[in-house]
Structure 1
Amino acid sequence: MGWGMLGLLALASGVLLWRLRVAPALWSLVGAAMMLGAIGYSVQGRPGLPGVSAEGQRERRTIDPSLMDLRQAMFGRFNFEESYFIASDALLSSGAVAPAAQVMLGGVQKAPQSAALWTWLGMMLVEKDGGTLSPAAKLAFEQGMRLAPEHPGPAFFYGLAQARANDFARTRALWMRALALTPKDVSYREDIAVRLVLVDQLLALQARERAAGIAQPQRE
């Protein structure tokens, strides 16, 4: 039964990769994963044991469609990078956060000059670390900005990662840079501008709260 299910899983994976138009370069990753699973099953598999539901063991992540649209508008569609984006999105939405980051790492190893892949690697590392902006994530974002210093995408998503880490001052600086790099006739310029206004309002609110705390008389 176990080997039969493994065969069906391999067939289903192949059909899914074909339907999603995933780049052939990723097929080898899936094949390697299946082979490792088969080896692990042959060594440690115990089909006689009662099954245990895996429900709840993975935290499913909801991917904001507006961010996916922004990524697509900034970095394009039907290109080499999109196949990696699709694969990482699918893994992330299923709760496989670490594999999603691993897919993007494979992408930058395949195309180390792609600012888009470095940028999304940074996003996946932030997801993997629970919203924490780790040194590895910072390195990925900064590499994306170095590779495409005139492109607004790396700066925008780096700013988004800073916002998730609650560093809104840094977010504002990065989004100001992204807005300055965005041509006036580009569709997503307004999206960046609206988010920048919201960050300004949040920073102003925090400043008022700090001022109120300082001005409040101390109790004896």
Structure 2
Amino acid sequence: MGWIALLLLAAAAMAALVLLRVDRLLWSMVGAALMLGAAGYAWQGSPMLAASPAQPDRLRVAEDPSLVDLRERMLGRFTADAAYLIAADAMSRAGDTRSAARAILGGLNRYPQSLMLWTGLGTTLAMHDGNQLSPPAVFAFQQAIRLAPEHPAPLFFLGLAQVRAADYVAARRSWARALALSPAQASYRRDIAVRLALLDRLLAERG
């Protein structure tokens, strides 16, 4: 395909020379330029390879908007530390989980006792590590649990990371504990219960 495009370009250039009535003395200069370009392409290009669309440097990370809504109902939204998570969400949606983690770490430098930011850091690090619970991600979740041992959010999002890592038995324990810690009147209690029921069905099917 590369050679065909190059030949078409040369033909178009010659046609333009004729139509524009360029002095024939200049034709040799144009021809030399075209030949130089062809030689460079043959040397450094890959004319025999089929064309293919360019691929982005990073894969986009699919994000469920309902999880953001659930997180905000569990941990709040209109707080100073939440602004760092909102920025990190935008970076994660663009596939830049490294920058997302850095944004959250910047927030933790200012709010080191933020339950919201430690929970978000655990989730973001797990995503950055290919949905695997790496030691840094586990540490972040543990810090969140240490800060608020009776809050369901760290356990729920730990369970979510465990599901993404295909560790369904551990996820079941985390979600069961998160449900037990959820107040009866909390708007998010049903969300956790539904996910736990679906996980139980999956575990039953797997035997």
Same topology, TM > 0.5: yes
Partner of 1:120: 120
Partner of 1:69: 69
1:197 matched to 2:193? The reply is no
SS in 1 for 2:81: helix
2:82/2:116 contact within 8 Å kept: no
1:129 matched to 2:129? The reply is yes
SS in 2 for 1:80: coil
Partner of 1:81: 81
- The one-letter amino acid paired with 2:200 is D
Partner of 1:31: none
- The one-letter amino acid paired with 1:57 is D
- CA distance in structure 2 between the aligned counterparts of 1:55 and 1:105, rounded to whole angstroms: 29
How far residue 114 of structure 1 moved from its aligned partner, in angstroms, is: 1.0
1:170 matched to 2:191? The reply is no
- The one-letter amino acid paired with 1:182 is S
Query: Residue 112 and residue 54 in structure 1: after superposition, are their counterparts in 2 closer, same or farther (change >3 A)?
Result: farther
- CA distance in structure 2 between the aligned counterparts of 1:153 and 1:81, rounded to whole angstroms: 16
- The one-letter amino acid paired with 2:148 is A
Q: What is the aligned-residue RMSD (CA, Å)?
A: 1.4
Partner of 1:149: 149
- The one-letter amino acid paired with 2:126 is V
Partner of 1:108: 108
Counterpart mapping for 1:10-49 below 5 A: none
SS in 2 for 1:171: helix
1:179-200 alpha-carbon deviations (Å, 9 max, x no partner):
0111111111000000000111
How many residues are treated as equivalent by the alignment? 155
Unmatched 5+ stretches in structure 2? 1-52
- Which stretches of structure 1, 4 residues or longer, exceed 2 Å deviation after superposition? none
Partner of 1:185: 185
Partner of 1:49: none
Partner of 1:93: 93
SS in 1 for 2:91: helix
TM-score normalised to the size of structure 2? 0.72
SS in 1 for 2:190: helix
Who wins on radius of gyration, i.e. which is larger? 2
- CA distance in structure 2 between the aligned counterparts of 1:54 and 1:149, rounded to whole angstroms: 47
How far residue 54 of structure 1 moved from its aligned partner, in angstroms, is: 7.7
2:133/2:165 contact within 8 Å kept: yes
Query: Residue 114 and residue 54 in structure 1: after superposition, are their counterparts in 2 closer, same or farther (change >3 A)?
Result: farther
TM-score normalised to the size of structure 1? 0.68
